[in-house]
């Protein structure tokens, strides 16, 4: 995990991730960009030569989907919040009132039922 977080690009991805899928995509992208040497198969007496040219990190820094995918994800999240009643109403106890209105048709008794 420390190696992942030392990578500047993965570090940004990890802090901006909104769900597990975003983190997994960041790990996959990191593993595609690095060379991993398994400790059991590598002979420490053999020196591994560094690459002739360090590959550019620019393609990794550029988002593949661009801002459109992020906007689309935010719109989907906003729709889910509205459907579940978790949006801000801007008035005192507005969420509670909306929740009662939403649940009232399915309740067996009214909320303020007195015998």
- Residue 102: the pLDDT is 78
pLDDT value of residue 49: 76
Average pLDDT value for residue range 28-40: 80
Q: What is the pTM of this model?
A: 0.44
Q: Output DSSP code: residue 106.
A: G
Residue carrying structure tokens 């060379």: 35
Domain edges within the chain = 2-62
Closest CA to 10 of 110, 22, 19: 22
Own/partner pairs, 43-51, CB within 8 angstroms, 24+ separation: none
pLDDT tens by residue, 47-98: 777 777 777 777 777 666 544 555 677 788 778 777 776 677 788 888 788 7
The span from the CA of 39 to the CA of 49, in Å, is: 17
Cα dist from 62 to 1, 14, 36, 88, 112, whole Å? 23, 16, 23, 34, 56
């Amino acid at each position: 995990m420390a190696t992942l977080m030392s990578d500047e690009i993965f570090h940004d991805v990890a802090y901006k991730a909104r769900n597990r899928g975003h983190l997994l995509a960041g790990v996959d992208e990191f593993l595609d960009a690095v060379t991993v040497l398994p400790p059991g198969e590598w002979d420490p007496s053999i020196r591994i030569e560094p690459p002739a040219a360090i590959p550019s990190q620019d393609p990794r820094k550029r988002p593949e989907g661009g801002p459109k995918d992020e906007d689309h994800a935010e719109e989907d999240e906003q729709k889910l919040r509205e459907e579940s009643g978790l949006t801000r109403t801007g008035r005192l106890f507005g969420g509670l009132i909306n929740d009662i209105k939403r649940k009232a048709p399915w309740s067996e008794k009214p909320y303020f039922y007195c015998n």
